[in-house]
Chain A
């Protein structure tokens, strides 16, 4: 126990003496929580629309006003030539073309049916797709509005029309705010980098500097050595998390609905697991370069397939399988559940058990591969 204490003291001494890491411990969580929730945002806003109005009637004018009034769209140009609108798209001045047929108003009055054409620039897929969907929504609203108007103004209508309007209610995230959704996930990413990658790089740099040899010829055993490497980063991980909790609470008014204790308990399990993962990387690499590249390789995969950016349910089957063997996805689930839904232990029991399994598995692998690469 005494040896472990001295080893940890040494690690802290070296870490605090480092010119970057102490600043990072404070700066990193604040920066991530301050900037990323605004930047990583899947809402598509300010979609530029070029309108080709062949009709030029009251009805088409009203439609254009409606589009313009939406917070998602900016009317870029109103012309009467499709080619001109195409040039807008080519020059990147417009994302979507809304083309209104010449007989738009007549058709509406006569047959209650009118066609418009939407052409979206899909170079940026999300923008095109979502823009299209939003615009269709507006068109639907408009047609419903027109129908009810026409019914009231006594224009003969044989059918009785009934309206079903849906009012969506978003549970646990009332305004469907992406920030609320992203913040717990960003915390997971932060902890992964600090507690998974940093200790691994630290151990490999001892290998590269040869200092590990000098330690190996002393009575320090390998468990003491590794624990002394991990514990400081566990502590740093908790400090960073706590800073993030406070920043998020003060800045966005989001406090964990499920309380702090389950958050810290599941964080602890995750941190132990992910640092085991880092150890595996350190065991298989002899140089910092190898370790860095291995770490990047896996971090990229586990972050992309964790449900941080895209929901796991909409991934292809094979990717779902990968996501289910990814500790990050479970921790993200837990964090979101505690933060947004206010789940208690019983609610997060299943993913928590999975995390526990990962922690045991990774660390056993780490211990086994360590004894293989050293004697």
Chain B
């Protein structure tokens, strides 16, 4: 269980006048609050610089907050940091194991540090560790990105933590390994582990029980992915066709279009309710775009994030 109340951490530099950190925008007392029950996979989703790592470092007892309170299980992150360090598994965003030690030695080292052994916990980490066990004599520095992540997760899990904190675990990992990684998290969750995970990939949000959308040190929404999508009120279309990149500017010029963003091989646009697809289609055909197709789509978490960001501005 994780409980965060009015947490603030400000990296404000008086010189530049810029704010960075978490809970910095509104009035001083408010900060950010969050509650994650036991056995939930909670995702913190937001762009780089949103404050995800700051929040995680405070929870992992690596950083002191300016004000507010945070608890993991029954322990306070400041007063009981020693207890917390026994019950959490933390995986920083950067690979932080000993590159000059082998896979097995790293795992063994972290096991002994927690006063346990690989054998005692073998069943617990088996699913993950088995995938890298064939390379157990290899030095950690020589592993591929996906294998490094698996080793880091094994090391974070070796003492069977109650709470697992994963800071952008899938950044820089190939799509197949990413999917495997989330499958592993689901399994761990079934065992009753509370998992806090951050990611900049919006498509991973649906793998979480609940998510918090984070931007500039604030939560702009906390809910289940389904509810966040259900809360999306605008009319959302996708536009496809030839010559997409120049089409985006022309779509934006159309008065009844509110927002438009490029999404890979299509554009997602929000429009006034009274606009019909044929009106827009004709407009684009007149501008000389061929093969234009416009469809209703259900929003993704990314659409929700962009909409919420837009609302604020």
Contact = CB atoms under 8 A, between A and B. Distances in A.
Interface of A: 2-3, 6-7, 10, 13-14, 17-18, 209-211, 213-221, 375
A209 B92 CA distance: 12
B85 A210 contact: no
A369 B300 CA distance: 49
B237 interface: no
Interface residues of B, number: 27
Contacts of B219: none
A14 B113 contact: no
B292 interface: no
Interface in B150-205: 155
Interface in B62-103: 62-64, 82, 85-86, 88, 90, 92, 94-101
B238 interface: no
Nearest to B93: A210
B113 A13 contact: no
B60 interface: yes
A374 to B, nearest CB: 9
10 contacts: A10-B101, A213-B92, A214-B90, A216-B62, A217-B60, A217-B62, A218-B85, A219-B82, A219-B114, A375-B64
A214 B101 CA distance: 15
B109 A6 contact: yes
B110 A218 contact: yes
Most buried by A among B63, B64, B112, B114: B112
B61 interface: yes
A214 B85 contact: no
Main secondary structure of the interface of B (DSSP, over half): loop
Nearest to A5: B112
A208 to B, nearest CB: 11
A219 B86 contact: yes
B115 interface: yes
Contact of B97 (A6, A13, A214): A214
A13 B101 contact: yes
Contact of A211 (B90, B97, B114): B97
Contacts of A211: 96-98
A210 B92 contact: yes
Contact of A14 (B61, B94, B101, B110): B101
B115 to A, nearest CB: 7
B302 interface: no
Given A6-B109, A218-B110, A213 B85 contact: no
A375 B79 CA distance: 11
B105 A13 contact: yes
Contacts of A2: 112, 115
B85 A209 contact: no
Given A3-B113, A217-B85, A218-B113, A17 B97 contact: no
A236 B97 CA distance: 25
Most buried by B among A10, A209, A218, A375: A218
Contacts of B101: 10, 13-14, 17
B114 A214 contact: no
A18 B98 CA distance: 13
Given A6-B112, A214-B97, A218-B110, 8 more contacts: A3-B113, A17-B100, A209-B96, A209-B99, A210-B95, A214-B110, A219-B113, A375-B63
B83 to A, nearest CB: 9
* A-B residue pairs, 3 tightest by C-beta: A210-B96, A217-B90, A6-B112
A310 B99 CA distance: 45
